[in-house]
Structure 1
Amino acid sequence: MTDVLENDRIRAVIDPVRGARLISLVVDGHEVLAHASVPGIDPAIADGCFPMVPWAGRIRDGRIAVGGGVYQLPQTGDHALHGLGHVSPWDQVAEGAYELAIGAPWPTEGVATMTYQLLDDGIRMELSWDDDTEAPCSVGLHPWFRRRLDSGEELVASLEPEVMVERGPDGLPTGELVEPTAGPWDDCFRLAAAPVLTWPGALELSLSSSADWWVIYDEPDDTLCVEPQTAPPDAFGHPGLQPDGPWPHGVWLELTARTP
C-alpha cells in the first residue's frame, strides 16, 4: 500500500515497504523520477528517490571499524552499498513521516526518520539517524531523474563542481581531494552552487540541501542522479574525508519548481 501527498502542483507517492522511498514525483503534470535501465543494477537501488542510512555510498569490502571492533556489513558485489534503510519496510508514524529501527549488522542501534513535506512549488525531504552515540555515520538521498519528460527538451543540468573526491582504479575514494575533471561522472563533489535541472520548454527544478557533498552519476543516457550526502563514500576509512567535528546525523533536500 502506497501513500499519496498532493496539492495543486505536486503529487508524491511513497512506498513504506520499499524503504519509505518516493516512487513517483509529479510536478506540474510531469513525472520527474525514473527507473534505471543500467544493465545488471540491483533492483533495490534502481528507481525513485530512496534514503541512504546509516551510511551513504560504498564502504570498501563492507568492513567498518568502530570502538575497537571491525564489523562486516552486507555487500552488493565487492562493497557495502547505500545503507540498510532502502531494503527495509518502514513504519508510518504521521502523514508523510516514517521510522525504522536499525541495529546489527550495523555497529550501533538507532532509529532512522524519513519525512516528506509538500511545498507550494515543490517538496522537502528530510532524513535523520539517531543512535545516541558519536559513532561514525553518513546519510543521504538518492534520486533518479528522467532525462526526458513527456514534453519539452532533454534535461540540461547546471552543476558547478568546486572540489572532487579522487577515485582510485577500483572506483573508490583514495582519500584525496582534487580539481574536478570533465564528465561523465560517478563521483563525489563539493559544489559551488546549488544544482538546477532544466527540461527546456517543460520544467525547471532547483535543488537545495543541508549536505556538504553531492554524488553525481550522469553516465546513463536516460537518467541522472544528483545525491546529497553528509560525507563522501567510504569516508570512514579516510580521515581527510571526515568532518572536522561530529558526524552529521541528518540531511534535507528541497526540490522547488518553476516553468522555464
Structure 2
Amino acid sequence: MSSDEITLTAGDAEVTVRPGDGGRIGSLKVGGTELLRQGEHFGSFPMVPWCGRIRDGRFRDGADVHQMPLNAAPHAIHGTARDGAWRTARHSRTADRAVITHELTDPWPYPGLVTQVVELAPGSLTLTLAVETYGSSFPAQVGWHPWFNRQLAPDAETVRIDFEAAWQERRGADHLPTGERIDPLPGPWDDCFGMPDGVDVTLTWPGQLALNITSREPWVVVYDEQEAAVCVEPQTGPPDGLNTAPRLVTPVSPLEATTTWTWTSLDPG
C-alpha cells in the first residue's frame, strides 16, 4: 500500500485513491460497506495506454511495429500505467476530488502524460482519464477495470448484472475478438460488448444496493467467471483495439473518457 494514499468523502461514501499503486481506486465504501474486492491487483485500476489484451503483444503504428512485454503470455494485457507510480497533482480541501498523473515511459514507445480525475459526490463517483502526447501522435486506449465484490456480506445474495448490448464480439480461444459481431449470449462472460449509445450496466445486490455504471464510450468488457468478484470495464475500444480500432492521441487532441458510477440503497431499513 502506498504512503501517499488519498481518502475522499461525500455523504455516506468513502473512496481511497492509491497513486503509488498504479493510480488504483483501492476502496469504495457506501454506508460502511465495501463494494470493491480487496487485495493486491484488485480494487479498480486504470487501463492505459491500452485495454485488455494485445495479440502477441504487438501493435502497428504506420510502418512501425512495437512489442510490449508479454505479461499475459502469449499476449500483453491492460496497459503499463497500472504497474507504475502516479503523482498527486491536486487534492481538494473539501476532500471530494483528487487529480493524479502518470508519465508514459518504457516499455511504451511514446512519451506522454496520463491524468486521472477522481470526483466523489453523495451517491456517485466519476472517473475521468486523459492521455496527452509530448511529441508525435500515437494510438492509445483508456478504460477502467473495477473488481466488484460478488457478495456484500456473508450469506447475502450474489450480485445480478443487467445490461442490453447491441452486439457481442465473438471471442476466440485466445480470449481475443475474432472480428465477428454476434447477438449477445448469456453468461458467464469474459467478453466485449458494443453499446453505441454509451455504456449502461447495472449491478444489483438484492436488498442492499444497486449501482449503475455509465460512460459515453461504446465498449464494455464484462467478466464474471471468478467466484469472488465481477468486473464491468468501460473502455474506448475493444481488446486488441490498438490493432483493430485505435484512437489517435495528437498534440491538439488528447484522448479522454469518463465513467460515472451511481448507487441507490435497496435496504428497506
Same fold (TM over 0.5): yes
- 1:164 is displaced (CA, Å) by 0.9
Indicate conservation of the 8 Å contact 1:71/1:105, yes or no: no
Structure 1 partner of 2:15: 12
Structure 2 partner of 1:80: 76
- 1:24 is displaced (CA, Å) by 0.5
C-alpha separation in 1, matches of 2:131 and 2:172: 29
Name the CA shift for 1:133/1:120 in 2 (closer, same or farther; >3 Å): farther
C-alpha separation in 1, matches of 2:54 and 2:15: 31
**AA in 1 matched with 2:129:** L
Q: Deviations over 1:41-97 (max 9, x none)?
A: xx5xx3000000011111011111113111111111211110011000101000111
From 163, 169, 177, the counterpart of 2:167: 163
Indicate conservation of the 8 Å contact 2:140/2:246, yes or no: no
C-alpha separation in 2, matches of 1:243 and 1:87: 22
Structure 1 partner of 2:186: 182
Q: Is 1:150 matched with 2:153?
A: yes
**AA in 1 matched with 2:25:** L
Structure 1 partner of 2:101: 99
Structure 2 unaligned spans of 5+ = 92-97
- 1:28 is displaced (CA, Å) by 2.1
C-alpha separation in 1, matches of 2:180 and 2:157: 37
4+ long deviations beyond 2 Å: 132-135, 150-153, 241-244
User: Any residues of structure 2 matched to 1:19-168 within 5 Å, and which?
Assistant: 19-35=22-38, 46-76=41-71, 77-95=73-91, 96-131=98-133, 133-150=136-153, 152-168=156-172
C-alpha separation in 2, matches of 1:233 and 1:20: 21
C-alpha separation in 1, matches of 2:247 and 2:42: 30
Give the number of aligned pairs. 250
Structure 1 unaligned spans of 5+ = 37-42
Indicate conservation of the 8 Å contact 1:195/1:207, yes or no: yes
Indicate conservation of the 8 Å contact 1:52/1:141, yes or no: yes
C-alpha separation in 2, matches of 1:133 and 1:258: 44
Name the CA shift for 1:213/1:133 in 2 (closer, same or farther; >3 Å): farther
SS across alignment from 1:184: coil
C-alpha separation in 2, matches of 1:175 and 1:242: 14
SS across alignment from 2:138: coil
**AA in 2 matched with 1:91:** R
TM-score normalized by structure 2?
Answer: 0.86
- 1:7 is displaced (CA, Å) by 2.0
- 1:242 is displaced (CA, Å) by 5.0
From 202, 205, 208, the counterpart of 1:199: 205
**AA in 2 matched with 1:153:** E
Indicate conservation of the 8 Å contact 2:159/2:203, yes or no: yes
Structure 2 partner of 1:40: none
The alignment's C-alpha RMSD in Å is: 2.2
Q: Is 1:231 matched with 2:237?
A: yes
C-alpha separation in 1, matches of 2:131 and 2:236: 12
C-alpha separation in 1, matches of 2:200 and 2:19: 29
Indicate conservation of the 8 Å contact 1:98/1:115, yes or no: yes
- 1:153 is displaced (CA, Å) by 2.5
C-alpha separation in 2, matches of 1:143 and 1:177: 25
- 1:115 is displaced (CA, Å) by 1.2
